[in-house]
Structure 1
């Protein structure tokens, strides 16, 4: 038995050096006089009496007279339980400290590398809890199930949740049905290929780990707008657009709501080319003032790559550059851009196509 280790543990638990020595002497011997304690320890006899009374006050020993003052240790059960509790607390704190080191709070525009998938998933949960407009996710069914509670909360807050389910391994096509998604996601697609774990929140926060089995054991958690834009387009082109839609809450007929102006333009451009009257309501941010703004009116023009060349049926990659929608609200024509718009009148967050009327 390592008495020195026990003594150090007691001191870590709040005992003074003398208190630890006297207490251990009594536990080992059962009962001792003050003189016997002084002889069995390095505690001066003049201090033994004070230490004994302190330990008695903490219900660790009892004092009694038998020709002289003696002390006897009480059942240490309560102290043992307290030490075990402190040990558990130390263990938990050690884990928390390690995690804090690995995943510091992200400041503005910060990017952090981590080594554990658990850390990335936990950060994804936090980010989703703070989501205000949009969440994009690529995940296995197991990962999706872990995020389901916070996604359900986000969906209830009217956050648009777009999900791609990926298989955990090659050849394992995910088996999912509508019940998996009701009240949790806005749209879902199903991939035939394993992919990374990726969560993008409000086009600014990123949680990412590479595809399982690639031998790349790292993750990225970030609050970084330019990087989020890169991951957004990776998600759109590689993890979303390439796969069949298996679930949607989007209406087939107006009103139809979009959180991405580019997807809206892909759907609206052919209609506008055919001279349809398209009524929309757009909400977003005024780039000059930072204030929320809502615009309602008729779509009168679109600008995107290829529009000047008469490409009226663009695909999503063909509107990946600058894109602007022009809406006549009855008093002026308002220009609407996507996230991070600078020259347009409105930086879009949501757009609802209220009605589409064919010409003639």
Structure 2
């Protein structure tokens, strides 16, 4: 270690610059006259006697009465032990400060990034408790169980919760009480990122724990959650089997594309499908609800229209359903709809009838 680094460490331990320089010089020289110590360090000769006396009172050196004043460094065991204690204490304080900084509440920015995955997972729990309409989760079974209290609050507030769960082999989700407060659970054998999408404007994402440098992102925005929603729908939801449903009564959809895929073959075969749509008026931004009969389904991949249900790829462009309501014709679009009369938040199937 360079001399300047040692001097800096001694000063950090509480010595003045003169005291540190004199002490280190004595360590190098052994028993020496005070004048020689001064000549080999930065301490002026008139000050060396006071500096050595100070060091002696602190327990670092001892002085010897000879023809001239001599000094030598004392056995450093106690001093070294004190340095180790201070080093460990400072290291612990540094780690605690870092942990507290990482765990501190996230700000009101559009996007917050943290190195602690737990911060993102904990933040998502609060968002679930405050949800108004929908929650989409990609979690492990252990994380889902840990959210039971928050999910119960969401269930009691009539929030639709869809959970894509990667099992750890420790929790049987289908038989666990948490399944009673989750609208639908699908099990996927592949592990993946933690993801929570709440009410279309809040998103929490944390990569898989296999990442060498874990991090998490919390987003309060309209655009990025829309992109993550397609990732959730296509990769984490549509391809996996349902293992649990908690809601009784008519089917409820929070994804227009999923509704179209399920109802398209029925509509093609001339079934009368009655629905209630809760959504947002794209012009005014106000929420409203309409009920009516499905009269048409339109989507960009028109060349693919047959009696078979369309794929998510077919519906990845523009997808619209047309209803006939007591007030006339109403067009309903998916998340981000601009040209339709209503941007869907929830579709409830009230009934299906077949023409005689």
State the TM-score, normalizing by the size of structure 1: 0.67
Task: Answer whether contact 1:189 1:243 (CA < 8 A) is retained.
Answer: yes
Task: Answer whether contact 2:145 2:178 (CA < 8 A) is retained.
Answer: no
What is residue 234 of structure 2 aligned with on the other side?
237
What is residue 198 of structure 1 aligned with on the other side?
195
Aligned-pair CA distance for 1:145: 2.1
Alpha-carbon distance change, 270 to 250 in structure 1, aligned in 2, over 3 angstroms: farther
Aligned-pair CA distance for 1:176: 2.4
Please list every run of 5 or more consecutive structure 1 residues that lacks an aligned counterpart in the other structure.
6-89
Distance in 2 between residues matched to 1:204 and 1:111, nearest whole Å: 12
Aligned-pair CA distance for 1:328: 0.5
Task: Answer whether contact 1:112 1:221 (CA < 8 A) is retained.
Answer: yes
Deviations 1:206-261 (A, max 9, x none): 1111112232411111112211111111111111112111011355xx72211111
Distance in 1 between residues matched to 2:124 and 2:259, nearest whole Å: 27
What is residue 353 of structure 1 aligned with on the other side?
349
CA RMSD of aligned residues (A): 2.5
Aligned residues: 263
What is residue 262 of structure 2 aligned with on the other side?
267
Distance in 1 between residues matched to 2:299 and 2:247, nearest whole Å: 24
Moved more, 215-224 or 307-316: 307-316
Matches within 5 A, 1:139-288: 139-168=139-168, 172=169, 175-250=172-247, 255-288=250-283
Task: Answer whether contact 1:274 1:359 (CA < 8 A) is retained.
Answer: no
Please list every run of 5 or more consecutive structure 2 residues that lacks an aligned counterpart in the other structure.
1-12, 14-92
Distance in 2 between residues matched to 1:269 and 1:224, nearest whole Å: 32
What is residue 120 of structure 1 aligned with on the other side?
120
Aligned-pair CA distance for 1:350: 1.4
Distance in 2 between residues matched to 1:272 and 1:306, nearest whole Å: 17
State the TM-score, normalizing by the size of structure 2: 0.68
Moved more, 207-216 or 149-158: 207-216
Matched, 1:291 2:286: yes
Indicate the structure (1 or 2) with the bigger Cα radius of gyration: 2
Task: Answer whether contact 2:163 2:186 (CA < 8 A) is retained.
Answer: yes
Matched, 1:318 2:318: no
